[in-house]
Amino acid sequence: MLYDAHNHLQDERLDPWRDVIIAQMPQTGLAEMIVNGSCEEDWPAVAKLARDHAWIRPAFGLHPWYVKERGPNWLTTLRDHLVAHPRAVVGEIGLDRWIENPDIDAQLECFRSQLALAVEFDRPATIHCLRAFGLLEETLRSMPLPRRGFLLHSYGGPAEMIPRFVELGARFSLSPYFGHPRKAAQLAVFQSVPLDRLLAETDAPDMWPPDELNPHPLKSTDGTSLNHPANLRVSYELLARVRGVPVEELQVVIAANYAALFAF
């Protein structure tokens, strides 16, 4: 039984294949996936997917990439979605200095507000972080955190920060993109993650694996590579390789880790 801790099945780039993907996923060994909203505009699509399919757990959050486009009532709308979906995670939220001209003050304001909702509703949070791990740790230490913990999805930070994030309640997920040779150093960082903090994800339709590891290739109309949610097994195989354990053993571990964070 496989658990995808983070994807974006609602993404419009998957529109041509979504019905086929949904029909196929239960046959891939998938037990549950977390489908993450990124902005006010896609939260309704996430909600519909969760209503229609019991194996989809929704997550609603304002991604740092979309902070500048938020509406005046975004936080109230987010609260309404969390009330309407008691199984929902708070996410995808976070901090990002990689994007062009980031408004870090606005990102911090939105991030803190959403973490406060996770605490209020007793929900875990899914956190995105690029080039802001020091600021992320500083922010997390400055405020109450979700009792259930939080996920650092597609963790790209240094190994030396893992114990500090673990102390705060973090879990860490790996995507198929870490199979690319240029990501070898980051893949090796997952040797340092405690076994009881490991999770797997796809981040579909992004973070696709290299061609030689990709059993489910997808291309958008402009020829851009996309990640198929069925590539979740690739993430498990990469984690098994880097940890030196059989995939079957890792499946049991990840199932328990997923339940500890998300099964509520």
- Which pLDDT belongs to residue 264? 83
Structure tokens at 83: 């009330």
What one-letter code names the amino acid at 34?
I
The Cα–Cα gap between 38 and 10 comes to 10
Residue pLDDT, tens place only, 158-181: 999 999 999 999 999 999 999 999
Domain ranges of the chain: 2-262
Spans of the chain below 50 pLDDT:
none
The architecture in CATH of the region 2-262 reads Alpha-Beta Barrel (3.20)
Distance in angstroms (rounded) separating the CA atoms of residues 154 and 152: 7
- The pLDDT of residue 137 is 98
What's the CA gap between 117 and 188, in Å, rounded? 34
- Specify the DSSP element, H or E, that contains 70: none
Residue 221: its pLDDT value, please? Answer: 86
Cβ atoms of 70 and 40 closer than 8 Å = yes
Are the C-beta atoms of residues 180 and 204 closer than 8 Å to each other?
A: no
- pTM for this model (two decimals): 0.98
